[in-house]
Amino acid sequence: MKVTINDVAKHAGVSIKTVSRVTNKESSVRQATIDKVNAAINELNYQPNLAARNLASTKSYVIGFIYDNPNAYYIIDMQNGILSACQDKGYELLIHPCDAKSADICDELTKMVKHSRLSGLVLTPPMSEDPTILAALDEIDANYVRIIAGEKACADNGLAVLVNDKHGALEITQHLIDIGHTEIGFLSGDQHHESTKERLSGFKSALKQNQLSVNTDWVLDGQYSFESGVENANKLINLSQRPTAIVACNDEIAAGALFAARLAGLDIPKDLSIVGFEDSPFSRQTWPKLTTVHQPNVKIAKVATELLIANSKETVEKRSMIFTPEPVIRDSSSTR
Protein backbone atom coordinates (compact mmCIF):
# COMPACT_ATOMS: atom_id res chain seq x y z
CA MET A 1 0.00 0.00 0.00
CA LYS A 2 1.29 3.45 -0.92
CA VAL A 3 2.41 5.61 1.99
CA THR A 4 0.45 8.87 2.24
CA ILE A 5 1.05 12.22 3.89
CA ASN A 6 -1.50 11.13 6.54
CA ASP A 7 0.74 8.16 7.43
CA VAL A 8 3.77 10.43 7.80
CA ALA A 9 1.85 12.88 10.00
CA LYS A 10 0.60 10.08 12.26
CA HIS A 11 4.06 8.47 12.49
CA ALA A 12 5.75 11.79 13.34
CA GLY A 13 3.00 12.90 15.72
CA VAL A 14 2.35 16.15 13.86
CA SER A 15 -0.41 17.60 11.68
CA ILE A 16 -0.71 17.03 7.94
CA LYS A 17 -0.14 20.76 7.46
CA THR A 18 3.19 20.52 9.30
CA VAL A 19 4.32 17.66 7.07
CA SER A 20 3.35 19.78 4.06
CA ARG A 21 5.32 22.73 5.38
CA VAL A 22 8.40 20.54 5.86
CA THR A 23 8.20 18.95 2.39
CA ASN A 24 7.73 22.44 0.93
CA LYS A 25 10.86 23.54 2.82
CA GLU A 26 9.14 26.52 4.44
CA SER A 27 11.57 28.47 6.62
CA SER A 28 9.22 28.97 9.59
CA VAL A 29 9.32 25.34 10.78
CA ARG A 30 11.50 24.53 13.83
CA GLN A 31 14.53 22.35 13.17
CA ALA A 32 13.43 19.74 15.72
CA THR A 33 10.12 19.36 13.87
CA ILE A 34 11.88 19.16 10.52
CA ASP A 35 14.12 16.39 11.83
CA LYS A 36 11.15 14.47 13.24
CA VAL A 37 9.16 14.69 10.00
CA ASN A 38 12.15 13.81 7.83
CA ALA A 39 12.85 10.78 10.03
CA ALA A 40 9.26 9.62 9.50
CA ILE A 41 9.56 10.21 5.74
CA ASN A 42 12.74 8.12 5.59
CA GLU A 43 11.39 5.33 7.78
CA LEU A 44 8.18 5.04 5.75
CA ASN A 45 9.91 5.71 2.40
CA TYR A 46 7.34 8.39 1.62
CA GLN A 47 7.50 9.97 -1.86
CA PRO A 48 5.68 13.34 -2.05
CA ASN A 49 3.40 13.75 -5.06
CA LEU A 50 4.80 16.98 -6.49
CA ALA A 51 2.29 17.11 -9.34
CA ALA A 52 -0.62 16.92 -6.90
CA ARG A 53 1.03 19.55 -4.72
CA ASN A 54 1.20 21.95 -7.66
CA LEU A 55 -2.46 21.38 -8.52
CA ALA A 56 -3.67 21.78 -4.95
CA SER A 57 -1.61 24.82 -4.09
CA THR A 58 -1.87 28.43 -5.20
CA LYS A 59 1.94 28.43 -5.20
CA SER A 60 3.86 26.83 -8.05
CA TYR A 61 6.78 24.47 -7.51
CA VAL A 62 7.98 24.31 -11.12
CA ILE A 63 11.07 26.04 -12.47
CA GLY A 64 11.40 26.58 -16.21
CA PHE A 65 14.74 26.39 -18.02
CA ILE A 66 14.67 28.32 -21.31
CA TYR A 67 17.53 27.92 -23.76
CA ASP A 68 18.68 28.37 -27.33
CA ASN A 69 22.28 27.22 -27.49
CA PRO A 70 23.93 24.75 -29.89
CA ASN A 71 26.48 23.66 -27.26
CA ALA A 72 25.13 20.38 -25.88
CA TYR A 73 27.68 20.25 -23.05
CA TYR A 74 26.67 23.72 -21.88
CA ILE A 75 23.00 22.75 -21.87
CA ILE A 76 23.64 19.53 -19.95
CA ASP A 77 25.68 21.38 -17.33
CA MET A 78 22.94 23.98 -16.96
CA GLN A 79 20.27 21.29 -16.60
CA ASN A 80 22.29 19.44 -13.97
CA GLY A 81 22.88 22.59 -11.93
CA ILE A 82 19.24 23.69 -12.07
CA LEU A 83 17.99 20.19 -11.29
CA SER A 84 20.31 19.94 -8.27
CA ALA A 85 18.84 23.13 -6.79
CA CYS A 86 15.29 22.01 -7.61
CA GLN A 87 15.79 18.69 -5.86
CA ASP A 88 17.28 20.40 -2.81
CA LYS A 89 14.32 22.79 -2.55
CA GLY A 90 11.49 20.44 -3.55
CA TYR A 91 10.83 21.87 -7.01
CA GLU A 92 10.26 20.30 -10.42
CA LEU A 93 12.09 21.30 -13.61
CA LEU A 94 10.46 22.09 -16.95
CA ILE A 95 12.91 22.28 -19.88
CA HIS A 96 11.91 24.41 -22.86
CA PRO A 97 14.22 24.72 -25.89
CA CYS A 98 13.31 27.55 -28.24
CA ASP A 99 14.47 29.70 -31.14
CA ALA A 100 15.58 33.04 -29.75
CA LYS A 101 15.40 34.60 -33.23
CA SER A 102 11.76 33.63 -33.76
CA ALA A 103 9.35 36.51 -34.33
CA ASP A 104 6.95 34.85 -31.87
CA ILE A 105 9.48 34.21 -29.09
CA CYS A 106 7.97 36.73 -26.64
CA ASP A 107 4.47 35.38 -27.11
CA GLU A 108 5.77 31.80 -26.81
CA LEU A 109 7.50 32.46 -23.49
CA THR A 110 4.72 34.49 -21.88
CA LYS A 111 2.13 31.85 -22.79
CA MET A 112 4.35 29.12 -21.38
CA VAL A 113 4.77 30.97 -18.08
CA LYS A 114 1.02 31.41 -17.73
CA HIS A 115 -0.09 27.96 -18.88
CA SER A 116 2.56 26.00 -16.98
CA ARG A 117 2.08 27.95 -13.74
CA LEU A 118 5.81 28.42 -13.36
CA SER A 119 7.38 29.63 -10.14
CA GLY A 120 10.14 31.19 -12.20
CA LEU A 121 12.42 31.01 -15.21
CA VAL A 122 16.16 30.47 -15.57
CA LEU A 123 17.22 32.40 -18.66
CA THR A 124 20.50 31.75 -20.45
CA PRO A 125 22.05 33.66 -23.36
CA PRO A 126 20.91 34.96 -25.75
CA MET A 127 17.40 35.22 -24.19
CA SER A 128 18.82 36.51 -20.91
CA GLU A 129 20.42 39.40 -22.79
CA ASP A 130 17.49 40.32 -25.05
CA PRO A 131 15.71 43.49 -23.80
CA THR A 132 12.58 42.70 -25.83
CA ILE A 133 12.15 39.30 -24.17
CA LEU A 134 12.86 40.74 -20.73
CA ALA A 135 10.30 43.50 -21.27
CA ALA A 136 7.65 40.94 -22.27
CA LEU A 137 8.34 38.90 -19.14
CA ASP A 138 8.25 42.02 -16.97
CA GLU A 139 4.87 42.89 -18.50
CA ILE A 140 3.34 39.72 -17.01
CA ASP A 141 5.34 40.14 -13.77
CA ALA A 142 7.27 36.90 -14.36
CA ASN A 143 9.87 35.79 -11.83
CA TYR A 144 13.16 35.12 -13.61
CA VAL A 145 16.92 35.01 -13.12
CA ARG A 146 19.39 35.82 -15.87
CA ILE A 147 22.73 34.13 -16.50
CA ILE A 148 24.73 36.73 -18.40
CA ALA A 149 28.22 37.85 -19.33
CA GLY A 150 29.48 40.88 -17.46
CA GLU A 151 31.72 42.35 -14.80
CA LYS A 152 29.18 44.21 -12.66
CA ALA A 153 25.46 43.88 -11.96
CA CYS A 154 23.16 46.86 -12.39
CA ALA A 155 20.91 47.60 -9.42
CA ASP A 156 17.70 47.76 -11.51
CA ASN A 157 18.26 44.62 -13.59
CA GLY A 158 16.69 42.10 -11.22
CA LEU A 159 18.14 38.70 -10.34
CA ALA A 160 21.34 37.85 -12.21
CA VAL A 161 24.34 35.57 -12.14
CA LEU A 162 27.21 37.11 -14.04
CA VAL A 163 30.21 35.44 -15.63
CA ASN A 164 33.25 37.69 -15.98
CA ASP A 165 34.17 36.48 -19.45
CA LYS A 166 36.37 39.51 -20.06
CA HIS A 167 38.65 38.57 -17.16
CA GLY A 168 38.88 34.95 -18.32
CA ALA A 169 39.81 35.96 -21.86
CA LEU A 170 42.34 38.50 -20.62
CA GLU A 171 44.01 35.89 -18.42
CA ILE A 172 44.19 33.18 -21.09
CA THR A 173 45.61 35.68 -23.59
CA GLN A 174 48.12 36.83 -20.98
CA HIS A 175 49.18 33.21 -20.57
CA LEU A 176 50.08 33.07 -24.27
CA ILE A 177 51.97 36.36 -24.03
CA ASP A 178 53.83 35.16 -20.95
CA ILE A 179 55.13 32.11 -22.83
CA GLY A 180 56.43 34.26 -25.68
CA HIS A 181 53.59 34.73 -28.18
CA THR A 182 53.16 38.19 -29.65
CA GLU A 183 51.23 37.28 -32.82
CA ILE A 184 47.87 36.00 -31.62
CA GLY A 185 44.61 35.42 -33.50
CA PHE A 186 41.05 35.32 -32.16
CA LEU A 187 38.14 33.14 -33.35
CA SER A 188 34.78 34.59 -32.31
CA GLY A 189 31.50 32.98 -31.39
CA ASP A 190 28.03 34.23 -32.31
CA GLN A 191 27.81 38.01 -32.25
CA HIS A 192 24.38 38.07 -30.55
CA HIS A 193 25.93 36.55 -27.43
CA GLU A 194 27.39 39.09 -25.02
CA SER A 195 30.01 36.51 -24.05
CA THR A 196 31.55 36.89 -27.52
CA LYS A 197 31.92 40.64 -27.07
CA GLU A 198 33.24 40.28 -23.52
CA ARG A 199 35.81 37.64 -24.49
CA LEU A 200 36.99 39.69 -27.46
CA SER A 201 37.27 42.71 -25.16
CA GLY A 202 39.41 40.73 -22.72
CA PHE A 203 41.62 39.52 -25.58
CA LYS A 204 42.17 43.07 -26.82
CA SER A 205 42.79 44.36 -23.30
CA ALA A 206 45.57 41.83 -22.76
CA LEU A 207 47.27 42.85 -25.99
CA LYS A 208 46.96 46.54 -25.11
CA GLN A 209 48.35 46.02 -21.61
CA ASN A 210 51.42 44.43 -23.20
CA GLN A 211 51.85 47.10 -25.88
CA LEU A 212 50.85 44.66 -28.64
CA SER A 213 48.66 45.65 -31.56
CA VAL A 214 45.54 43.81 -32.72
CA ASN A 215 45.89 42.42 -36.24
CA THR A 216 42.33 42.68 -37.58
CA ASP A 217 43.10 40.03 -40.23
CA TRP A 218 43.54 37.55 -37.38
CA VAL A 219 40.22 38.34 -35.65
CA LEU A 220 37.45 36.38 -37.37
CA ASP A 221 33.70 36.33 -36.79
CA GLY A 222 32.12 32.92 -36.35
CA GLN A 223 29.74 30.72 -34.39
CA TYR A 224 30.05 28.66 -31.23
CA SER A 225 30.63 25.44 -33.16
CA PHE A 226 33.31 22.93 -34.14
CA GLU A 227 32.67 23.65 -37.83
CA SER A 228 33.24 27.36 -37.33
CA GLY A 229 36.56 26.59 -35.66
CA VAL A 230 37.64 24.42 -38.60
CA GLU A 231 36.63 27.02 -41.19
CA ASN A 232 38.22 30.03 -39.52
CA ALA A 233 41.37 28.20 -38.45
CA ASN A 234 41.92 27.22 -42.09
CA LYS A 235 41.66 30.89 -43.06
CA LEU A 236 44.39 31.82 -40.56
CA ILE A 237 46.60 28.84 -41.43
CA ASN A 238 46.53 29.72 -45.13
CA LEU A 239 47.62 33.33 -44.64
CA SER A 240 51.12 34.21 -45.82
CA GLN A 241 51.76 35.57 -42.34
CA ARG A 242 49.81 33.59 -39.77
CA PRO A 243 49.63 33.96 -35.98
CA THR A 244 51.67 31.71 -33.71
CA ALA A 245 48.75 31.27 -31.31
CA ILE A 246 44.95 31.31 -31.40
CA VAL A 247 42.45 32.25 -28.70
CA ALA A 248 39.13 30.53 -29.48
CA CYS A 249 35.88 31.86 -28.01
CA ASN A 250 34.94 28.42 -26.66
CA ASP A 251 36.26 24.87 -26.56
CA GLU A 252 34.21 23.67 -29.54
CA ILE A 253 35.77 26.35 -31.71
CA ALA A 254 39.21 25.51 -30.29
CA ALA A 255 38.71 21.79 -30.98
CA GLY A 256 37.74 22.60 -34.56
CA ALA A 257 40.81 24.81 -34.94
CA LEU A 258 43.03 22.07 -33.55
CA PHE A 259 41.50 19.56 -35.99
CA ALA A 260 42.14 21.89 -38.96
CA ALA A 261 45.70 22.61 -37.86
CA ARG A 262 46.57 18.94 -37.55
CA LEU A 263 45.07 18.17 -40.96
CA ALA A 264 47.30 20.92 -42.34
CA GLY A 265 50.30 19.10 -40.89
CA LEU A 266 50.98 21.52 -38.05
CA ASP A 267 52.35 20.30 -34.74
CA ILE A 268 50.29 21.48 -31.78
CA PRO A 269 51.64 23.28 -29.80
CA LYS A 270 55.09 23.45 -31.43
CA ASP A 271 53.90 25.16 -34.62
CA LEU A 272 50.71 26.70 -33.28
CA SER A 273 49.33 27.13 -29.77
CA ILE A 274 45.53 26.96 -29.42
CA VAL A 275 43.49 27.81 -26.32
CA GLY A 276 39.76 27.61 -25.64
CA PHE A 277 37.20 28.80 -23.14
CA GLU A 278 34.70 27.09 -20.74
CA ASP A 279 36.62 23.88 -19.84
CA SER A 280 33.94 21.69 -21.42
CA PRO A 281 34.51 17.97 -22.15
CA PHE A 282 35.70 19.08 -25.60
CA SER A 283 38.83 20.44 -23.94
CA ARG A 284 39.70 17.03 -22.50
CA GLN A 285 38.74 14.92 -25.51
CA THR A 286 41.16 16.46 -28.00
CA TRP A 287 44.76 15.50 -28.55
CA PRO A 288 46.61 17.29 -27.19
CA LYS A 289 44.24 18.36 -24.43
CA LEU A 290 43.24 22.00 -24.62
CA THR A 291 44.50 24.81 -22.48
CA THR A 292 41.29 26.64 -21.62
CA VAL A 293 39.40 28.79 -19.11
CA HIS A 294 37.40 27.02 -16.43
CA GLN A 295 33.78 28.17 -16.23
CA PRO A 296 31.83 26.25 -13.51
CA ASN A 297 28.53 25.99 -15.41
CA VAL A 298 26.89 23.48 -13.06
CA LYS A 299 27.57 25.69 -10.05
CA ILE A 300 26.52 28.82 -11.95
CA ALA A 301 23.17 27.23 -12.83
CA LYS A 302 22.61 25.95 -9.29
CA VAL A 303 23.30 29.35 -7.72
CA ALA A 304 21.02 31.05 -10.26
CA THR A 305 18.19 28.65 -9.41
CA GLU A 306 18.69 29.12 -5.68
CA LEU A 307 18.40 32.89 -6.14
CA LEU A 308 15.23 32.39 -8.17
CA ILE A 309 13.58 30.11 -5.60
CA ALA A 310 14.53 32.42 -2.74
CA ASN A 311 13.01 35.33 -4.64
CA SER A 312 9.76 33.42 -5.21
CA LYS A 313 9.55 32.93 -1.43
CA GLU A 314 10.51 36.57 -0.81
CA THR A 315 13.50 35.45 1.24
CA VAL A 316 16.21 36.48 -1.22
CA GLU A 317 19.12 38.31 0.42
CA LYS A 318 21.34 38.65 -2.66
CA ARG A 319 20.13 39.72 -6.06
CA SER A 320 23.26 38.92 -8.01
CA MET A 321 26.47 36.93 -7.94
CA ILE A 322 29.59 37.09 -10.10
CA PHE A 323 31.74 34.14 -11.19
CA THR A 324 35.29 34.76 -12.40
CA PRO A 325 36.64 32.09 -14.79
CA GLU A 326 40.33 31.22 -14.51
CA PRO A 327 42.81 29.54 -16.93
CA VAL A 328 43.51 25.81 -16.90
CA ILE A 329 46.90 25.13 -18.50
CA ARG A 330 47.17 21.86 -20.43
CA ASP A 331 49.05 20.67 -23.51
CA SER A 332 47.84 22.79 -26.44
CA SER A 333 49.96 25.82 -25.57
CA SER A 334 53.73 26.05 -25.24
CA THR A 335 56.64 28.46 -25.30
CA ARG A 336 57.24 30.21 -28.58
CATH classification of the domain holding 25: 1.10.260.40
Alpha carbons 298 and 78: distance in angstroms, whole number: 6
Domain assignment of residue 20, given as a range: 5-48
Indicate if 244 and 321 belong to the same structural domain: no
Alpha carbons 96 and 99: distance in angstroms, whole number: 10
Please tell me the predicted confidence (pLDDT) of residue 114. Answer: 81
Indicate if 289 and 300 belong to the same structural domain: no
pTM: 0.79
**Residue 258, domain member (yes or no):** yes
**Residue 330, domain member (yes or no):** no
Indicate if 153 and 219 belong to the same structural domain: no
Question: 95: domain CATH number?
Answer: 3.40.50.2300
Indicate if 93 and 12 belong to the same structural domain: no
Please tell me the predicted confidence (pLDDT) of residue 60. Answer: 73
CA 309 vs CA 60, 140, 142, 298: distances in Å? 11, 18, 13, 17
Please tell me the predicted confidence (pLDDT) of residue 2. Answer: 72
Alpha carbons 152 and 157: distance in angstroms, whole number: 11
Indicate if 180 and 211 belong to the same structural domain: yes
**Residue 277, domain member (yes or no):** yes
Indicate if 291 and 169 belong to the same structural domain: yes
Please tell me the predicted confidence (pLDDT) of residue 17. Answer: 67
**Residue 71, domain member (yes or no):** yes
In 3D space, the residue among 250, 248, 252 whose CA is nearest the CA of residue 274 turns out to be 248
Question: From the first residue on, what is the mean pLDDT of each consecutive set of 10 residues in the chain (336 residues)?
Answer: 77 78 70 85 74 49 86 90 93 90 89 84 92 89 92 73 97 98 96 94 98 97 96 97 97 97 96 96 92 96 94 67 95 92
**Residue 333, domain member (yes or no):** no
**Residue 331, domain member (yes or no):** no
Residues pairing with 159 in the sheet? 145
Element (H, E) at 106: helix 105-115
Alpha carbons 143 and 159: distance in angstroms, whole number: 9
Indicate if 271 and 177 belong to the same structural domain: yes
**Residue 334, domain member (yes or no):** no
Count of domains forming the chain: 3
Indicate if 94 and 128 belong to the same structural domain: yes
Alpha carbons 145 and 91: distance in angstroms, whole number: 16
Indicate if 291 and 221 belong to the same structural domain: yes
Indicate if 15 and 74 belong to the same structural domain: no
Indicate if 283 and 321 belong to the same structural domain: no
Indicate if 219 and 275 belong to the same structural domain: yes
State the virtual CA torsion across 197, 202, 206, 211 in degrees, nearest 10: 40
**Residue 36, domain member (yes or no):** yes
